[in-house]
């Protein structure tokens, strides 16, 4: 048996096409959705992520502005920039690319963004609203995961989902999303993390196993229940002398050995990654609709 490979690129393209139609409707009604991405410093991965977000905006009919600041930008200067964007009625989404340089307190920056423009869904107001099931802007990466499962024809409701990882960006919001009532949720949830004892005992119970650990090929075949849906959030660079750039990207799942026993699986790259940008487009359109 081999798994259904969940095509994140294809599903992301569908979602981006939907966001494009929604953006066009807003434009027809006099609102051009606008996302501002703020990049502090020169981190190459962050630069690449920002580049792909700006390009996606162009393709979706969303106006995008990129603000770049040097790595020695002060916290106060960044806060002033956010205040200016919060007050600007033509801006609907504000995204400050993380991680920030060490001298800037990320929590202070996240809390400064107007929750109505918080297209990353990291503001405590949005985190709280999500946890009590209120409509809000939710973090892009975990929000894309139920979408890609359901759009692949796999039922989620009533399933046991095991999430490995408890970060504020992926693991915790993933739990909050899946535990809600609804067709794309309604799961029984187990969350595993670095303090979990006998991890494999828990992961083997999963109908849906979501790996957000940040350790290359951490999830082995003997940790997976045959037939499970395996979602690999990890993006890890590992050395590879056989390619010109000297590295390749691998996920948190040992794909070669897990794929033959899984029911469905996401590849890396081409799985969860493209969904994140697609959900950012959806969130920006949603913010523009809420603010217009
Ligand atoms: P993080 O480092 O903030 O969190 C990792 C989590 O894994 C922690 O909560 C920790 O408790 C858990 N963990 C670590 N070692 C463990 C172990 N031995 N056993 C059990 N749990 C363990 O990372 P993150 O921001 O949540 O990201 C996780 C991965 O997902 C990374 O590879 C990251 O690059 C990737 N990521 C991808 C996207 C995307 O768009 N595809 C978005 C965000 C993050």
Q: Which CATH number belongs to the domain containing residue 228 in this structure?
A: 3.40.50.720
Same domain? 160 vs 247: yes
User: What is the spatial distance between Cα 157 and Cα 177, in angstroms, rounded to a whole number?
Assistant: 12
Task: Assess whether 120 carries a catalytic annotation.
Answer: yes
Catalytic residue flag (residue 53): yes
| 149 and 256 assigned to the same domain | yes
* Residue at 8 is within a domain: no
Residue 157 falls within a domain, yes or no? yes
Q: Does the residue 290 lie in any domain?
A: no
Identify whether residues 260 and 161 lie together within a single domain.
yes
Are 267 and 153 found together in one domain?
yes
| 210 & 107 share domain | no
Pocket test residue of 106, 141, 194, 247 for ligand 1, highest count of atoms within 8 A of CB: 194
Question: Which one is catalytic: 114, 117, 118, 120?
Answer: 120
What string of pLDDT tens digits covers the 292 residues of the chain?
A: 689 999 999 999 999 999 999 999 999 999 999 999 999 999 998 999 999 999 999 999 999 999 999 999 999 999 999 999 999 999 999 999 999 999 999 999 999 999 999 999 999 999 999 999 999 999 999 999 999 999 999 999 999 999 999 999 999 999 999 999 999 999 999 999 999 999 999 999 999 999 999 999 999 999 999 999 999 999 999 999 999 999 999 999 999 999 999 999 999 999 999 999 999 999 999 999 999 9
Q: Report the atom number in ligand 1 closest to the C-alpha of 271.
A: 41
Q: Are residues 88 and 157 in the same domain?
A: no
**Does a structural domain hold residue 15?**
no
pTM of the model: 0.97
Q: Is residue 18 part of a domain?
A: no
Question: Which atom of ligand 1 sits closest to the CA of residue 251?
Answer: 32
Ligand 1: which residue has its CA nearest to atom 31? 214
Please indicate, yes or no, whether residues 170 and 256 belong to a single structural domain of this protein: yes
Residue 38 placed within a domain: yes
Up-side HSE of residue 279: CA atoms within 13 Å toward CB? 22
User: Are residue 68 and residue 145 in the same domain, yes or no?
Assistant: no
Residues 171 and 234 occupy one common structural domain: yes
Same domain, 185 and 98: no
Distance of alpha carbon 100 from alpha carbon 243, whole angstroms: 30
| Atom 19 in ligand 1: residue holding the nearest Cα | 194
Residue corresponding to tokens 């494009």:
20
Atom of ligand 1 nearest to the CA of 212: 28
Residue 19, classified by CB atoms within 10 Å of its CB into exposed (0-12), middle (13-18) or buried (19+), is: buried
179 in the same domain as 245: yes
Number of domains in the chain: 2
Residue 183 shares a structural domain with residue 238: yes
- DSSP classification of residue 117: G
Tell which one of 233, 236, 278 to mutate to probe ligand 1, the residue whose CB is within 8 A of the most ligand atoms: 233
277 domain-assigned? no
Q: Which atom of ligand 1 is nearest to the CA of 277?
A: 40
Residue 280 domain flag: no
**Token representation of residue 179:** 């535990």
Task: Pick the atom of ligand 1 nearest to 276's CA.
Answer: 40
Pocket of ligand 1 (CB under 6 A): 141, 164-167, 169-171, 192-194, 196, 199, 212-215, 233-236, 272-273, 276
C-alpha closest to that of 286 among 19, 84, 103: 19
Domain of residue 106 covers 31-115
Distance 214 CA to ligand 1 centre (A): 4
- Is 114 a residue of the active site? no
Question: Among 49, 98, 120, 165, which is best to mutate for testing ligand 1, by the most ligand atoms less than 8 A from CB?
Answer: 165
């Amino acid at each position: 048996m081999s798994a259904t490979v969940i095509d994140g690129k294809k599903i992301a393209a569908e979602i981006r096409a939907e966001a494009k139609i929604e953006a066009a409707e807003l434009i027809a009604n006099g609102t051009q959705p606008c996302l501002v991405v703020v990049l502090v410093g020169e981190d190459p991965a962050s630069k690449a992520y920002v580049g792909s977000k700006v390009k996606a905006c162009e393709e979706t009919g969303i106006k995008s502005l990129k603000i770049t600041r040097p790595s020695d930008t002060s916290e106060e200067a960044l806060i002033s920039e956010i205040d200016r964007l919060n007050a600007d009625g033509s801006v609907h989404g504000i995204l400050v690319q993380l991680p920030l340089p060490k001298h800037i307190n990320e929590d202070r920056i996240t809390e400064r963004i107007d929750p109505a423009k918080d297209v990353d869904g990291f503001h405590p107001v949005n985190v709280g609203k999500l946890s009590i099931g209120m409509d809000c802007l939710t973090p892009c990466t975990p929000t894309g995961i139920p979408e890609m499962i359901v759009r692949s024809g796999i039922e989620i409701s009533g399933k046991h989902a095991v999430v490995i990882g408890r970060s504020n960006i992926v693991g915790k919001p993933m739990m909050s999303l899946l535990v809600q009532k609804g067709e794309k949720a309604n799961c029984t949830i187990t969350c595993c993390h670095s303090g979990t004892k006998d991890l494999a005992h828990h992961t083997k119970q999963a109908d849906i196993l979501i790996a957000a650990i940040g350790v290359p090929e951490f999830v082995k075949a003997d940790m997976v229940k045959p037939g499970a849906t395996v979602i690999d959030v990890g993006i890890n660079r590992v050395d590879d002398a056989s390619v010109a750039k000297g590295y390749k990207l691998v996920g948190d799942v040992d794909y070669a050995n897990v794929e033959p026993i899984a029911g469905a699986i996401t590849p890396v790259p081409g799985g969860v990654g493209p969904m994140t940008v697609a959900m950012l487009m959806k969130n920006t359109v949603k913010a523009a609709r809420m603010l217009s």
